[in-house]
Structure 1
């Protein structure tokens, strides 16, 4: 299957075939070389870096298989890139495969690689695997860094293991390390994910935000040289929900990490009271809302059934600045919770205003909104159809899951089999299944 078609890499040669696919004997050497995409370690490293930048992390195993068939020996930097790619793509099985391959070639993982592996465990909500990596580090005499402890803390937090999280805090303290904002963020996440949810949960969130004020708001970044080189921010390494926004300075205030995580928790906990308490604390601390905080407030209000307050905080925020597309998308997503007639109308009205202002959906936003809108069981399906039309007008194909749900929703309506929209969606679905159906499983 042509998974890498259209990929542009070193010397601009496309990748029309995968090398590990059987090659017919009739293919001449010169022709095969022309269709090839990499021959040496430098070219392969370029391909790997490009795939990671394009978020096509599902292809890393295929490229590695090609390296082996070519007899190209990966170096330590190659494995670092491969494991960072699996971390960014939340592909734990691939991460451990590359770790094992690295060790088999006599290249023991260093502390930075272990940090990436532990971070991947957190993204995949597998705290047991993270603890096993810690034990492996100790067996091999790999000295833990401050980053390692925080990766472990946040990996345990992902599964609500507050006992393990506090044990890591004690280990940090014993090692002479103080807590920073990412540690408090991890503890908040641990309580948010701990089951069952009790009254103590929201109390601990507020308590930890108060305790976190002991860290200096002007502390400098502790990003290691390795992380900077691999384009991994602290937020991404520690699985902080603001990770995808850290490079947009006008959108978030990185000093407010603990508030970001706490407000994100309020949405998941559906606690409007806790959210409003935190917003008041934020004001008393002399801070104004940033884009991410407004996103979480909108989400929390809508998930708690308070549509009017969600719309109000959105309108107040955008009245004094150029709104980001994410804010509109958050409002639309919130409005579609429960697929009520009032909410679906608000969602469509918001999309129309967004489009009129020249603010457009990217493929991910469009796919997420189509997936949400396509879940509407009653009504005329006008919002889902409108989102589909918006994407088609910009020649954007939504994701396979979104198209599948939308296609199923159309079939459940009384639509003729030869309806142009249904036919187009069916063709798009067939093409997406053909293109992505053979990917390597996570």
Structure 2
């Protein structure tokens, strides 16, 4: 440890020297304009802001600037950096920050290790998740109940049923009760197992039923550190609803997590039978489905090829006076376009028109996803793809490069004059994005 601290001290001296060289090279006023942060507190604000904007790829640049400025990162800074890279699934960056901590003589605490295990789940790397637990033991960092739930869900993401059941046995033998996030992991493990487990149907129903009696242990609450960094339980355990936990207006009832996970699994596996069983269980429990549940019901029908029942579930929810969200419309549009049937493409077009007339608009992400899907239509008039493009451009939104690329190629395959205004505009935007991002990202 002393050797590590000595090396870290030499490194920090070099960083301070570089920072001084950097400041002497320009005037004080110019230096102030060029630098957006001067101390730890200001850098923490910048890191938090970038994470809130989902600009996770910029976190390493901020860290490099800290080093050049000679600002010594604290444990709090590394908490923010690693939570940001976890949210953005930036695997290599997160472990780079961990290694930087060690080089400075800072040992990650249990919260940081939990986030690293969670990140492994996001990146489908259960082997590394297990190695992190071993590292915790080497450094005598005591795992808590959150650690085991993070590990359970990381193994579940990889479909490692054997490991998941081992973790469950270890938890119960240690006197830790299984909460709803444990049962969520069990459902995910059965869903992700390849091939799908033969007992998927019975197990999902069983887990939903058993989770109603989950014990309230310390595993059911996030740590103070995670709360301060805006990391929810759903995010930490990679629950499908993670990106919706802050939505209001009836979009998500957080008390019904197990139903969310079960219905999401059914939709992913196109298992209409179990989906309908789960919905019957919800009704018997006297619970009202939230928007997220309706989306999964629609997805299950639509991805199974049953456009009529998917559309019916959408209409029944709207007619019931339930909460309305743009995701309901985009779910129907996306599902209707599967297979590019004339009936489905017409429904997609009409749904987009209704959505727009009700004052719901596509954002860059949803618009890009729908444009990418619509651009795959090989026959027909390309009217849906054109309409999505026009909706986005009307709000001055430029879709992400993969969507623009697919739309551009789809237009080029059709008999459209080279001087057609639409083709000219799309070509120019395509060339600009390609020059900026090389097709890698937008």
Is TM (by shorter chain) over 0.5?
yes
Q: What's 1:170 paired with? A: 169
Q: What's 1:3 paired with? A: none
1:343 aligns with 2:344: yes
Q: What's 1:14 paired with? A: none
1:34 aligns with 2:36: no
Question: Per-residue deviation at 1:35?
Answer: 2.7
C-alpha distance in 1, partners of 2:405/2:357? 28
Q: What's 2:92 paired with? A: 93
1:132-281 equivalences under 5 Å are 132-215=131-214, 222-249=221-248, 250-281=250-281
Q: Deviations over 1:213-271 (max 9, x none)?
A: 22269999512211110001100110101111111242111111111101100111111
Q: Deviations over 1:135-189 (max 9, x none)?
A: 1011111111111111000000000001111111111112211000000000000
CA pair 268-207 structure 1, distance change in 2 beyond 3 A: same
C-alpha distance in 2, partners of 1:407/1:217? 53
C-alpha distance in 2, partners of 1:220/1:146? 5
Question: Per-residue deviation at 1:359?
Answer: 1.0
C-alpha distance in 2, partners of 1:316/1:423? 42
Q: What's 1:9 paired with? A: none
Question: Per-residue deviation at 1:208?
Answer: 1.6
C-alpha distance in 2, partners of 1:214/1:136? 34
Unaligned runs of 5+ in 2: 1-17
C-alpha distance in 1, partners of 2:242/2:37? 32
- Number of paired residues? 420
1:375-394 equivalences under 5 Å are 375-394=376-395
C-alpha distance in 2, partners of 1:403/1:307? 27
Secondary structure at the aligned position of 1:107 is classed as coil
Q: What's 2:62 paired with? A: 63
C-alpha distance in 2, partners of 1:274/1:91? 35
Question: Per-residue deviation at 1:203?
Answer: 2.4
Secondary structure at the aligned position of 2:377 is classed as coil
CA pair 415-351 structure 1, distance change in 2 beyond 3 A: same
Bigger mean CA deviation after superposition, 335-344 or 110-119: 335-344
Q: Deviations over 1:252-299 (max 9, x none)?
A: 111111111011001111111111111111111111111111000000
Question: Per-residue deviation at 1:43?
Answer: 2.1
Q: What's 1:424 paired with? A: 425
Question: Per-residue deviation at 1:410?
Answer: 1.2
Q: Does the CA-based 8 Å contact 2:401-2:439 persist in structure 1? A: no
Q: Does the CA-based 8 Å contact 2:179-2:217 persist in structure 1? A: no
Question: Per-residue deviation at 1:38?
Answer: 2.2
Q: Does the CA-based 8 Å contact 1:263-1:278 persist in structure 2? A: yes
- Structure with more of its chain in helix, by fraction: 2
Q: Does the CA-based 8 Å contact 1:58-1:439 persist in structure 2? A: no
Bigger mean CA deviation after superposition, 55-64 or 417-426: 417-426
Higher relative contact order (CA 8 A, sep 6+): 1
1:355 aligns with 2:379: no
Bigger mean CA deviation after superposition, 148-157 or 364-373: 364-373
Secondary structure at the aligned position of 1:214 is classed as coil
Query: TM (normalized to structure 2)?
Result: 0.90
C-alpha distance in 2, partners of 1:57/1:439? 16
C-alpha distance in 2, partners of 1:440/1:359? 27
Q: Does the CA-based 8 Å contact 1:58-1:440 persist in structure 2? A: no
C-alpha distance in 2, partners of 1:348/1:30? 55
Q: Does the CA-based 8 Å contact 2:155-2:161 persist in structure 1? A: yes
- Alignment RMSD (CA, Å): 2.3
CA pair 163-199 structure 1, distance change in 2 beyond 3 A: closer
Q: What's 1:316 paired with? A: 316
Q: Deviations over 1:411-433 (max 9, x none)?
A: 11112222211221122223333
Question: Per-residue deviation at 1:212?
Answer: 1.6
CA pair 68-217 structure 1, distance change in 2 beyond 3 A: closer
CA pair 434-44 structure 1, distance change in 2 beyond 3 A: farther
Unaligned runs of 5+ in 1: 1-18
Query: TM (normalized to structure 1)?
Result: 0.90
Q: What's 1:306 paired with? A: 306
Q: Deviations over 1:70-120 (max 9, x none)?
A: 222111111110000101101111110100001111110000000111111
C-alpha distance in 2, partners of 1:439/1:407? 16
Q: Does the CA-based 8 Å contact 1:217-1:255 persist in structure 2? A: no
C-alpha distance in 2, partners of 1:344/1:403? 20
